[in-house]
Amino acid sequence: MFTVPPGLNVAITYAGSTIAPVNAGSYAVVATVVDDNYKGVNTGTLVINYTLTVSKAGSGSGTVSVSPLAASYVSGTVVTLTATPVAGSGFDSWSGGASGSAASVKVTITGNTVVTATFTCYTLTVGTAGNGSVSVSPKAATYAKGTVVTLTATPASGSTFAGWSGDVSGSARTIPVTIIKNTSVTATFDVIPMYTLNVGTAGSGSGTFTKSPNAATYASGTVVTLTATPAAGSTFVGWSGDVSGSGKTIPVTITKNTSVTATFNLIPMYSLAIGTAGMGSGTVTRSPNAPHMPVAPW
């Protein structure tokens, strides 16, 4: 310590103690000259500040801003910490000298303080079983907690979407997924069953039929329209087999290999004999004039 004259012995106390403090705080310092020929006293204040240490933890990534930013702080200083996650991560919480889940927090410095900011991120794994694809929106390597991701399943030709399994469930092709953990989802696609439709004719008459749509096989659930057209001299009687009815046009829903018969019968023909009698004479005409007349088909 500098003295006048130089080299005098000086006794120093810190808040009454001769031991120099190492802990943060404010200490009254008294310097007293110890010499038989000289006397002198000087006073002052020793201030030891506190440190603020900020660290990061968790599976995610981000940054923490400190305001004001300093190497040490006077007791009572209020410091604002703000956590900013990177894309694909989210801020979770503060621990240590601060608490809560708000991205910004105020810390009052009253001692050496350690604060930890925890960032999290989660993965979404989507798989398929069967033939089809899944679109993911938004698509990212990782997601912040609470992110809503939309999954849309598109079956390949000849397949149908059966449903979702894993961490979500449902049969709708489009489904929202809220990410709160590492998430795994599977979209299942089934092969669409294909069935035949055989149509034949029967009966004493003749006729034709049409199928719409006309195909060799049909996917389960396909609705095929059958239309019967009797030939001249025939009448349509009805359908039999896997469907029934008397209407010439009938819908058939394909759920299995299906067999249908259209029955046509000949229209009965009868003769109409006309003669004359009595003492007079005359003629008779008939319309239509035919050797045989069909029975009305009703």
Segment 213-238 mean pLDDT: 96
Residues paired with residue 223 on neighbouring β-strands, in sequence order: 253
88-97, 129-138, 264-273: range with lowest mean pLDDT: 264-273
Helix H or strand E segment including 50: none
Segment 25-46 mean pLDDT: 86
Q: Measured between alpha carbons, how far apart are the two ends of the chain, in Å?
A: 133
Q: Is the pLDDT of residue 292 over 70?
A: no
Q: How far apart are CA 86 and CA 81, in angstroms?
A: 16
Give the distance from CA 202 to its chain's centroid.
Answer: 54
Q: Is the pLDDT of residue 291 over 70?
A: no
| Structural tokens at position 76 | 């009572």
Q: Is the pLDDT of residue 259 over 80?
A: yes
Q: Is the pLDDT of residue 240 over 50?
A: yes
Q: Is the pLDDT of residue 276 over 90?
A: no
pTM attached to this predicted model: 0.64
Segment 2-23 mean pLDDT: 85
- Give start and end residues of each alpha helix (H) in the chain: none
At residue 26, the pLDDT reads: 81
Q: How far apart are CA 253 and CA 251, in angstroms?
A: 7
Q: Is 33 helix (H, G, I), strand (E, B) or coil?
A: strand
At residue 185, the pLDDT reads: 98
Which of 213-250 are b and which e, b meaning 16 or more Cβ less than 10 Å from the residue's Cβ? eeeeebeeebebebebebeeebbbbbbeebbeeeebeb
211 in Cβ contact with 233 (< 8 Å):
no
Name the one residue in this structure whose structure tokens are 């305001």.
67
| Banded pLDDT at 294 (limits 50, 70, 90) | low
